[in-house]
């Protein structure tokens, strides 16, 4: 009797592995395709739509870098408002773009919006820390202190 039970478990395991498991995966994939998500997106286990394409994420990162680069150009030309707008666009495309937060924060501080600038600089430090880039995080935090001192001394 024990031998029969072992064989049944073995047969069940084989059936599950070769028949039931692939059918289950196929059903899940079809259900995701037929979700209320836009084309090119699938529904995850939390019923949220997300991109199924890494190329889209890569394009978004490239666009964020382009906005950041243009922000730097505007900043170098003394066009602060345009620079802030470009940094903001970069951040909208990549919420973890620490450099964009830092440069936007710096520009905001120079435009007499020091508190908003400090918030962006703190965000940059947090992102650098989460990436393990501790030297950058420390440098950004020191820069924040300089802005705070400038506020106390009436420079901002």
Domain-wise residue ranges, the chain? 54-152
Q: Which residue has the tokens 């890494």?
A: 54
Decide if pLDDT at 135 tops 60. Answer: yes
Q: Report CA 79 to chain centroid distance, whole Å.
A: 27
32 neighbors 43 (Cβ within 8 angstroms): yes
Six token digits for residue 88 = 């903001």
Residue 34: how many other CB atoms lie within 10 Å:
9
The strand pairing partners of 43, in sequence order, are 49
Report pLDDT digits (tens) over 20-33. Answer: 444 444 444 544 44
For the chain, percent of residues with pLDDT exceeding 90 = 56
C-alpha 60/C-alpha 100 separation (Å) is 14
Q: What is the pTM of this model?
A: 0.64
Report pLDDT digits (tens) over 86-123. Answer: 999 999 999 999 999 999 999 999 999 999 999 999 99
pLDDT band at 16 (very low <50, low <70, confident <90, very high): very low
What mean pLDDT, rounded, does the chain reach?
79
Architecture of the domain spanning 54-152: Alpha Horseshoe (1.25)
Q: What is the DSSP code string of 94-125?
A: -TT-HHHHHHHHHHHHHTT-HHHHHHHHHHHH
Among the listed residues 127, 124, 121, 129, the one whose alpha carbon sits nearest the alpha carbon of residue 150: 121
The strand pairing partners of 41, in sequence order, are 51
For the chain, percent of residues with pLDDT exceeding 70 = 64
Report pLDDT digits (tens) over 37-90. Answer: 655 555 555 556 655 556 667 788 899 999 999 999 999 999 999 999 999 999
């Amino acid at each position: 009797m024990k031998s029969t039970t072992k064989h049944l478990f073995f047969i069940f395991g084989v059936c599950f592995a070769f028949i039931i498991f692939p059918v289950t995966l196929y059903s899940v994939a079809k259900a995701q395709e037929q979700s209320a998500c836009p084309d090119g997106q699938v529904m995850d286990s939390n019923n949220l739509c997300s991109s199924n394409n890494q190329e889209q994420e890569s394009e978004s990162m490239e666009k964020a870098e382009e906005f950041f680069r243009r922000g730097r150009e505007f900043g170098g030309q003394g066009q602060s408002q345009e620079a802030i707008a470009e940094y903001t666009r970069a951040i909208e495309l990549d919420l973890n773009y620490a450099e964009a937060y830092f440069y936007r924060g710096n520009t905001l501080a120079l435009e007499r919006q020091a508190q908003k600038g400090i918030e962006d600089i703190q965000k940059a430090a947090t992102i650098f820390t989460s990436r393990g880039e501790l030297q950058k995080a420390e440098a950004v935090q020191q820069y924040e202190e300089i802005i705070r001192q400038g506020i106390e001394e009436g420079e901002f």
